[in-house]
C-alpha cells in the first residue's frame, strides 16, 4: 500500500516542498499531479512519499488528479535539477517545473502523438500460412511480417499496404497478435547518405584519445581552428558510442547522445549533417522555435529512449535521457549557454556535473575556448601563471591546427585604420573594392556588424539631443523602414519625431550604422548585388533563416549582412570575403570579459572565409589597428592571446583565479534597492571572513524595463567558502520584510558585471 502523504514540488518562489494526501491513489516519485494551491489548482511533481508530516493530517489537502498515463521523471534528472537549484540558490520547485516542456506545466493532460504497435503472440507464431485463405493476401502478408521481422508500427504497416492496419486488427481479434500504444516516431524524409570523409592525422588522434576513455568520465577540450573539422570528430564519436552499445549485445540503439548548441540558428545545419551521416539513428531537436506539441513530443522521445541523438539548446541539459553515454558541447565558449534570468545556470557547467555523475565523457569544442576552460586544460603550462593542483589539467586538451579541407587555408586578415581613410557611408574604400572584386569573380561576401536596426542613435544637430528610452538607461534605435524608434532592451516603440523634443529643431539625423542601413548602403553602391540581411528582425518568421541559408548555398545571394547569428558554425564554400564593421566600442567596455568576447567573435566570423579551395580574406575596420587584440587576431594565435589574458586576470584576481557571485536587486523605487543591498552587504560581511564582499553599486545600465537596479559583488579563492556564505545569506534574506518589496536573485559565476 502506498504511503498516505506526498511531498510535492510546486512552481512557487518558496524553497520547500508541500505536503498533500494521496487520497488512496497510487502515486510514484517523479509523477505529475494536480493539487489545490491557494485559489486554483496547480501542477506539481511528487518528490517523496511519507508516513507523517510536520503539519496536522486534518490540515492537509488531497491531490486532485494523478497523470498516471505519463512516464515519471527519473531520479537522475530530479537529482541534477536539485543540485543545480542548490548551487545557483534558486527555489527547487520553480527550477524543476521550468525544465519541463510547456505542455507538462499546464493543467490539461499532455497530449502527445501516439500510435499503435502490433506484436505476434505465441499462437500467432504457430499459425501455418497455408491454413489462411489465399484471397486474404494482406492478412497473410502482415502475419508473415510479424512472424519474421517482429513488432510492426502503424507506419511500417502502412508501408506494406493501405489495408494492413485493418488486417492487423483482425489478427488481434483472432488472438494471433497483441497491440500496445507507443510514442509516434515522426517519419523524416529520406536524406541521401553522404560518404564518410577520411580523417586527417589530428582528427584521428582526437577521436582515438576520446574513444579509449569513452567508458568513464573525462572532460575533453577540443580546441580546433575554424574549419578544422570539429563536427566530423563529433560524428565519429557518436558513431563509436552508438555502435559500441549495439556490439555489446544491448538493446538495439539503446545508447543516446546529447549535443548542446548555443543558439537555435545552428540547429538546422547540424541536424541536416547528422541525418545525412547517421541516417540509421533517430534524431530529435529541442529548442524554443518548436511548437509546444513538437517540443513535448521530442522530449518524450528522448525520455523513452526512442531518440538516440538529441540536439538542443541550454535547457536540453535537463532532459530525461535514460541511456545517455556521451555529451558534446559545440562552441562551448558561447555566452548563450548561460541563463540570464530565473535560475542563472550555465549549461556547460551543469553538463560537466551530469557527465561525472553518469561516468561518461563530455567533449567541449571551440576555436576560441572560454578562458576558464582554457585554464582548466592548460593551467600549469602557461608561463608565468600559477595553478592549484585542483585546477591543473582538469580537462584533456585536443588540438586541431589545420583545416579539414586540405586545400583550405586560414584567411588573410587586414585591419584598416579608419582614421586615415575617407569612409563611404561607413565603408572603407578597401572594403568596397574587395566587395566589387568578389562580385566579378562570382564569389560571396559577408559583412558583419553586431548592431541591428537602421541607426543606433537619432541625433539633433542643433542641441545634441539623443532619443532616449523612457524605461531603460539606453538610447532608442532607429528602424527607418517601420518609421519607428525602438529599444532593443525592453521593446518600447514610438514614432520618429518630426522635430527635436528638446529645442524644436527639425534637423534630426540617424547617426551610426546598423544592419538595415548597411544593407541600404550596399544596395546603392553595388546595384547588381543580391543582398540578404540576417538579424533578429529579418528572421522572426519560422524557417526564415533556413531559407536564407539555402539561398546562400544555392549561390542565389552575393552579399550577406548580419549580426553574430552568422559568426559561428556556418559553412559557405563560396564565401571568400568577410568584412567587419565598427567593433571598437567593445575595446572601451568596463566589462573585463569584453576583449575576450570580441576576440572570440572576430575569430569566429573570420573563420567563415575561405573554408574550401578558394583563398579567404578578412577586412576589419578599426581606429586602433595596432591594438594587441588585433595583432593576435592577424596571426590567429588564440593560445598566446589567451595566455596573456590569464596573466592579466591573475594580477587583478579575476576569474578563473577566484569564484564570484552577484546579488542582484531591482525595484521601481531605487531607495528600496539601496535598503535591501545594504542589509545584504552588512549580513555578508558578518557571515564570512573568507569571502570578499564589495560595496553595493549600480550597473552601467542603471534602469532596465522600468526597474532601478543595483548589485553586490562577492568573490572567494575557494568555491566552498562562497557557497557556504550564499546559503546562509539567502536563508537570512528570505525572512526579511524588505526582500518581499524588491526583485532579487543570486547569480553564481556571472558572465556580465
Q: Are strands 659-667 and 743-748 parallel, antiparallel or unpaired?
A: antiparallel
Mean pLDDT of 572-597: 86
- Count CB-CB contacts under 10 A for residue 305: 18
Give the pLDDT confidence of 401-458 residue by residue, as tens digits. Answer: 887 765 567 788 999 999 999 888 889 999 999 999 999 999 999 999 988 888 899 9
* Nearest one of 338, 411, 441 to 750, comparing CA atoms: 338
Query: For residue 709, what are the contacts with CB-CB under 8 A and spacing of at least 6?
Result: 664, 665, 666, 673, 698, 699, 701, 702, 703
- pLDDT for res 70: 84
At the topology level, CATH places domain 201-400 in: Rossmann fold (3.40.50)
Who wins on pLDDT, 257 or 195? 257
- pLDDT for res 112: 56
Is 339's pLDDT higher than 60?
Answer: yes
* Nearest one of 376, 539, 517 to 454, comparing CA atoms: 517
**What is d(CA 706, CA 752) in angstroms, rounded to the nearest whole number?**
20
Greatest alpha-carbon pair distance for the chain in Å reads 98
Cβ–Cβ under 8 Å, residues 534 and 561: yes
Instruction: State the CATH architecture for 114-183.
Output: Orthogonal Bundle (1.10)
- pLDDT for res 109: 57
Give the pLDDT confidence of 618-650 residue by residue, as tens digits. Answer: 999 999 999 989 999 998 889 999 999 999 999
Percentage of the chain with pLDDT > 70?
92
Least confident range of 56-70, 132-146, 209-223, 321-335: 132-146
With both helix axes pointing from N to C terminus, report the angle between 544-553 and 267-277 in degrees, rounded to the nearest 10: 60
Give the pLDDT confidence of 177-189 residue by residue, as tens digits. Answer: 888 766 665 545 5
- DSSP per residue, 579-590: EE---GGGGG-S
Cβ–Cβ under 8 Å, residues 178 and 197: no
CATH number belonging to domain 659-748? 3.30.70.600
Give the pLDDT confidence of 28-59 residue by residue, as tens digits. Answer: 999 999 999 988 999 999 999 998 899 998 89
Question: Which grid cell sits at 287?
Answer: 529548442
Is 751's pLDDT higher than 80?
Answer: yes
Rg (CA), the chain: 29
Mean pLDDT of 367-379: 91
Is 114's pLDDT higher than 70?
Answer: no
Query: Mean of the per-residue pLDDT values for the chain?
Result: 88
Question: Which grid cell sits at 104?
Answer: 507538462
Q: 682: alpha, beta or left, given left = phi > 0 and alpha = psi -120 to 50?
A: alpha
- pLDDT for res 190: 44
Mean pLDDT of 562-577: 79
**Helix (H, G, I), strand (E, B), or coil: what is residue 698?**
coil
Give the pLDDT confidence of 660-696 residue by residue, as tens digits. Answer: 999 999 999 999 999 999 999 999 999 999 999 999 9
Cβ–Cβ under 8 Å, residues 724 and 673: no
Who wins on pLDDT, 541 or 290? 290
- pLDDT for res 146: 82
Least confident range of 119-123, 410-414, 424-428, 516-520: 119-123
The torsion angles phi and psi of 335, rounded to 5 degrees, stand at -70, -15
**Helix (H, G, I), strand (E, B), or coil: what is residue 326?**
strand
* Nearest one of 372, 259, 339 to 307, comparing CA atoms: 259
Question: Which grid cell sits at 521?
Answer: 548602403
503 has binding-site annotation: yes
Q: Are strands 412-417 and 617-622 parallel, antiparallel or unpaired?
A: parallel
Helix residue ranges, H only, 363-504 = 371-378, 429-441
Is 133's pLDDT higher than 80?
Answer: no
Query: Cell 584567411 belongs to which residue?
Result: 411
- DSSP per residue, 84-114: HHHHTT--HHHHHHHTS-GGGGSSSPP---E
Question: Which grid cell sits at 597?
Answer: 568576447
**What is d(CA 84, CA 87) in angstroms, rounded to the nearest whole number?**
5
Cβ–Cβ under 8 Å, residues 271 and 312: no
Secondary element (H or E) of residue 274: helix 267-277
β-sheet bridge partners, residue 447: 561, 579
DSSP code at position 25 = -
Question: Which grid cell sits at 502?
Answer: 528638446
Candidate CATH numbers 3.40.50.1100, 3.40.1190.20, 3.40.1440.60, 3.50.50.60; the one for domain 5-105: 3.40.1440.60
Q: Are strands 707-716 and 692-693 parallel, antiparallel or unpaired?
A: antiparallel
**What is d(CA 630, CA 583) in angstroms, rounded to the nearest whole number?**
11
Domains 114-183 and 412-455+512-635 share a fold: no
**What is d(CA 554, CA 570) in angstroms, rounded to the nearest whole number?**
14
415 has binding-site annotation: no
Domain range list for the chain: 5-105, 114-183, 201-400, 412-455+512-635, 659-748
What is 412-455+512-635's CATH superfamily?
P-loop containing nucleotide triphosphate hydrolases (3.40.50.300)
Give the pLDDT confidence of 453-508 residue by residue, as tens digits. Answer: 888 999 998 999 999 999 999 999 999 888 899 999 999 999 999 899 999 988 89
Query: For residue 108, what are the contacts with CB-CB under 8 A and spacing of at least 6?
Result: none
Is 200's pLDDT higher than 50?
Answer: yes
Q: How many residues does the chain have?
A: 753
Who wins on pLDDT, 348 or 584? 348
Question: Which grid cell sits at 602?
Answer: 572576430
**What is d(CA 44, CA 42) in angstroms, rounded to the nearest whole number?**
6
**Helix (H, G, I), strand (E, B), or coil: what is residue 628?**
helix
Is 388's pLDDT higher than 60?
Answer: no
117 has binding-site annotation: no
- pLDDT for res 389: 42
Who wins on pLDDT, 704 or 116? 704
For the ranges 190-204, 259-273, 535-549, the maximum mean pLDDT occurs at 259-273
- pLDDT for res 494: 93
Q: Are strands 362-366 and 219-224 parallel, antiparallel or unpaired?
A: parallel
How many distinct helices (H) and strands (E) make up the chain? Answer: 20, 31
Amino acid at each position: 500500500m502506498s504511503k498516505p502523504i506526498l511531498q510535492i514540488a510546486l512552481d512557487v518562489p518558496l524553497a520547500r516542498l508541500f505536503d498533500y494526501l494521496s487520497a488512496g491513489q497510487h502515486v510514484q516519485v517523479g509523477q505529475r499531479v494536480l493539487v489545490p494551491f491557494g485559489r486554483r489548482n496547480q501542477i506539481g511533481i511528487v518528490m517523496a512519499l511519507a508516513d507523517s508530516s510536520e503539519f496536522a493530517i486534518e490540515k492537509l489537502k488531497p491531490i486532485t488528479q494523478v497523470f498516471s498515463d505519463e512516464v515519471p521523471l527519473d531520479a537522475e534528472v530530479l537529482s541534477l535539477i536539485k543540485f543545480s537549484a542548490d548551487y545557483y540558490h534558486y527555489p527547487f520547485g520553480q527550477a524543476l517545473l521550468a525544465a519541463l516542456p510547456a505542455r507538462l506545466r499546464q493543467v490539461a493532460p499532455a497530449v502527445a502523438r501516439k500510435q499503435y504497435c502490433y506484436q505476434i503472440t505465441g499462437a500467432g507464431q504457430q499459425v501455418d500460412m497455408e491454413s489462411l485463405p489465399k484471397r486474404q493476401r494482406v492478412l497473410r502478408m502482415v502475419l508473415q511480417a510479424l512472424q519474421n521481422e517482429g513488432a510492426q508500427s502503424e507506419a511500417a504497416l502502412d508501408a506494406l499496404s493501405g489495408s494492413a492496419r485493418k488486417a492487423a486488427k483482425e489478427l488481434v481479434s483472432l488472438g494471433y497478435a497483441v497491440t500496445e500504444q507507443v510514442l509516434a516516431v515522426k517519419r523524416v524524409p529520406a536524406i541521401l547518405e553522404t560518404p564518410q570523409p577520411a580523417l586527417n592525422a589530428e582528427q584521428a588522434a582526437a577521436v582515438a584519445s576520446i574513444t579509449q576513455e569513452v567508458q568513464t568520465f573525462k572532460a575533453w577540450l577540443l580546441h580546433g581552428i575554424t574549419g578544422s573539422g570539429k563536427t566530423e570528430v563529433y560524428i565519429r564519436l557518436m558513431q563509436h558510442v552508438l555502435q559500441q552499445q549495439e556490439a555489446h549485445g544491448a538493446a538495439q540503439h539503446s545508447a543516446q547522445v546529447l549535443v548542446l548548441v548555443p543558439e537555435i540558428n545552428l540547429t538546422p545545419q547540424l541536424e541536416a549533417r547528422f541525418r545525412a551521416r547517421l541516417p540509421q539513428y533517430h534524431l530529435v531537436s529541442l529548442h524554443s522555435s518548436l511548437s509546444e506539441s513538437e517540443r513535448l513530443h521530442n522530449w518524450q522521445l528522448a525520455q523513452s529512449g526512442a531518440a538516440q541523438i538529441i540536439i538542443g539548446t541550454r535547457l536540453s541539459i535537463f532532459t530525461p535521457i535514460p541511456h545517455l553515454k556521451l555529451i558534446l558541447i559545440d562552441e562551448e565558449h558561447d555566452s548563450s549557454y548561460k541563463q540570464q534570468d530565473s535560475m542563472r545556470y550555465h549549461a556547460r557547467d551543469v553538463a560537466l556535473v551530469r557527465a561525472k555523475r553518469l561516468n561518461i565523457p563530455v567533449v567541449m569544442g571551440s576555436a576560441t575556448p572560454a578562458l576558464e576552460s582554457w585554464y582548466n586544460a592548460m593551467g600549469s603550462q602557461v608561463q608565468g601563471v600559477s595553478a592549484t593542483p585542483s585546477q591543473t589539467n582538469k580537462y584533456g586538451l585536443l588540438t586541431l591546427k589545420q583545416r579539414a579541407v586540405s586545400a583550405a587555408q586560414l584567411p588573410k586578415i587586414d585591419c584598416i585604420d579608419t582614421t586615415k581613410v575617407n569612409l563611404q557611408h561607413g565603408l572603407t574604400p578597401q572594403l568596397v573594392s574587395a566587395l566589387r572584386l568578389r562580385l566579378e569573380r562570382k564569389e560571396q561576401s559577408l559583412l558583419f556588424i553586431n548592431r541591428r536596426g537602421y541607426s543606433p542613435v537619432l541625433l539633433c544637430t542643433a542641441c545634441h539631443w539623443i532619443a532616449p528610452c523612457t524605461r531603460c538607461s539606453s538610447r532608442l534605435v532607429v528602424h527607418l523602414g517601420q518609421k519607428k524608434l525602438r529599444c532593443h532592451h525592453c521593446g518600447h516603440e514610438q514614432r520618429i519625431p518630426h522635430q527635436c523634443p528638446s529645442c524644436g529643431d527639425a534637423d534630426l539625423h540617424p547617426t551610426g550604422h546598423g544592419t538595415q542601413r548597411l544593407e541600404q548602403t550596399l544596395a546603392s553602391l553595388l546595384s547588381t548585388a543580391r543582398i540578404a540581411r540576417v538579424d533578429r528582425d529579418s528572421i522572426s518568421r519560422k524557417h526564415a533563416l533556413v531559407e536564407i541559408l539555402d539561398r546562400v548555398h544555392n549561390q542565389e545571394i552575393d552579399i550577406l549582412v548580419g549580426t553574430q547569428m552568422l559568426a559561428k558554425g556556418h559553412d559557405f564554400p563560396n564565401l571568400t570575403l568577410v568584412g567587419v564593421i565598427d567593433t571598437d566600442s567593445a575595446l572601451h567596455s568596463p566589462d573585463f570579459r569584453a576583449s575576450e568576447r570580441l576576440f572570440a567573435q572576430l575569430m569566429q566570423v573570420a573563420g567563415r572565409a575561405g573554408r574550401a579551395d578558394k583563398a579567404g580574406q578578412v577586412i576589419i575596420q578599426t581606429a586602433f589597428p595596432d591594438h594587441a587584440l588585433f595583432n593576435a587576431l592577424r596571426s590567429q594565435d588564440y593560445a598566446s592571446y589567451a595566455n596573456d589574458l590569464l596573466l592579466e586576470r591573475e594580477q587583478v584576481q579575476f576569474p578563473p583565479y577566484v569564484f564570484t557571485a552577484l546579488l542582484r536587486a531591482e525595484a521601481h523605487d531605487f531607495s528600496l534597492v539601496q535598503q535591501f543591498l545594504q542589509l545584504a552587504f552588512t549580513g555578508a560581511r558578518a557571515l564570512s571572513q573568507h569571502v570578499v564582499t564589495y560595496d553595493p553599486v549600480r550597473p552601467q545600465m542603471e534602469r532596465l524595463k522600468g526597474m532601478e537596479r543595483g548589485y553586490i559583488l562577492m568573490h572567494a579563492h575557494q568555491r566552498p567558502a562562497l557557497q557556504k556564505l550564499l546559503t546562509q545569506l539567502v536563508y537570512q534574506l528570505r525572512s526579511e520584510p524588505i526582500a518581499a518589496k524588491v526583485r532579487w536573485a543570486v547569480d553564481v559565476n556571472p558572465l556580465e558585471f
